[in-house]
């Protein structure tokens, strides 16, 4: 098989992106008896080792628990019952259970992805790594098609009843095909960014600290007992620190 002879597959739902959205959707669809093919341009190793989010809100934890009652969120993750907000150097603790009867969990996104990948592959999900969607056609018909290429240059065509763009940001292929514009929908870009620092160090606080100062916003957050994530506000166009 090579680029000249596309390999065509048929499924009910073609999902582009094996991030949290694509993987959880494939699970929910399978639960409802709907088959899907999930493709991701990254390797499994890359997906499982990229450190991004760290905090899961209660609704997400409830969903992950419904998917797998033995989810490691409850054994490896840490429940946080509050955060600290700092203004002018003074801290104010926000007590989540006391105020709304809910909590958040510190459980890194790549751990969620490890769990979901193992679960989906164990259930026989058609999940292909290193496969990049290059374009989508027929989105306004009942036979949309995703065209993709493998790392070896093989061309795949996936015909589906529905195509789902779970391809995240910043360069989605599916969303612009559906909307005609990658920036359409409910999208708001703020004129500042976060400079993130991942460091090997013990936690300097038990809970997250969100701090406001004349120099902008800063966040002390955690990832694990050994790895911490710090952020401060920066200019999104800045290429170096002054
Ligand atoms: C530093 C950082 C910290 C964050 N902290 C938090 C937090 O604490 N809590 C929180 O809730 N959220 C947090 N977020 C946001 C969270 O990570 C995202 O909301 C989440 O990853 C979105 O999931 P997704 O599945 O929609 O997209 P993604 O996770 O971006 O997954 C998209 C997938 O699509 C694949 N893909 C893209 N294009 C193609 C293509 N053409 N063909 C095939 N595959 C493709 C990508 O390889 C990727 O695996 C953070 C994000 C960052 C960057």
Strands 78-80 and 104-106: antiparallel
How far is Cα 226 from Cα 112, in angstroms, rounded to an integer? 18
Read off the pLDDT of residues 72-82 as tens digits, 9 standing for 90 and up: 999 999 999 99
Q: 182 pLDDT band (50/70/90 cuts)?
A: low
Tell me what pLDDT residue 7 has: 93
The region, left, alpha or beta by phi > 0 then psi within -120 to 50, assigned to residue 199 is beta
Read off the pLDDT of residues 15-29 as tens digits, 9 standing for 90 and up: 999 999 999 999 999
Ligand 1 atom nearest residue 172's Cα: 38
Burial 69-102 (b: 16+ CB within 10 A, else e): eebebeeebbebebbbeeeeeeeeeeebeeeeee
Ligand 1 atom nearest residue 17's Cα: 34
Q: Are 56 and 149 in contact, with CB atoms under 8 Å apart?
A: no
Q: 176 pLDDT band (50/70/90 cuts)?
A: confident
Residue 155's DSSP bridge partners are 149
Rounded distance from Cα 33 to ligand 1 centre (Å):
26
Question: What is the pTM (predicted TM-score) of this model?
Answer: 0.91
Domains of the chain: 7-53+112-179 (3.50.50.60), 55-107+188-234 (3.30.9.10)
57: CB partners within 8 A, 6+ apart: 102, 104
Rounded distance from Cα 19 to ligand 1 centre (Å):
6
* Cα separation values, 140 from 37, 178, 224, Å: 20, 8, 45
How far is Cα 136 from Cα 163, in angstroms, rounded to an integer? 8
Q: Which residue has the higher pLDDT, 238 or 153?
A: 153
Ligand 1: residue whose CA is nearest its atom 44: 40
| pLDDT average, residue stretch 197-213 | 93
Relative orientation angle of helices 20-31 and 109-122, to the nearest 10 degrees = 30
């Amino acid at each position: 098989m090579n680029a000249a002879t596309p390999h065509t597959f048929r499924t009910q739902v073609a999902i582009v992106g094996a991030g949290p959205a694509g993987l959880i959707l494939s699970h929910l669809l399978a639960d409802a008896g709907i088959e899907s093919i999930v493709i991701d341009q990254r390797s499994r190793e890359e997906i499982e080792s990229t450190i991004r989010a760290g905090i899961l809100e209660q609704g997400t934890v409830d969903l992950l628990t419904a998917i797998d009652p033995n989810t490691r969120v409850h054994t490896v993750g840490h429940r946080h019952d509050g955060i600290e907000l700092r203004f002018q150097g003074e801290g104010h603790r926000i007590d989540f259970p006391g105020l709304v009867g809910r909590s958040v969990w510190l459980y890194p996104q790549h751990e969620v992805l490890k769990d979901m990948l193992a679960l989906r592959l164990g259930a026989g999900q058609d999940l292909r790594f290193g496969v990049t969607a290059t374009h989508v056609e027929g989105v306004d018909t009942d036979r949309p098609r995703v065209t993709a290429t493998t790392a070896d240059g093989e061309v795949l065509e996936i015909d589906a009843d529905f195509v789902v763009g779970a391809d995240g940001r910043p360069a989605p292929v599916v969303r612009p095909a559906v909307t005609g514009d990658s920036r359409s929908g409910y999208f708001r870009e703020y004129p500042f960014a976060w400079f993130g620092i991942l460091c090997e160090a013990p936690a300097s606080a038990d809970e997250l600290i969100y701090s406001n100062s004349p120099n902008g916003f800063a966040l002390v957050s955690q990832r694990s007992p050994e790895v911490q994530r710090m952020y401060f506000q920066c200019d999104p166009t800045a290429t170096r620190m002054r």
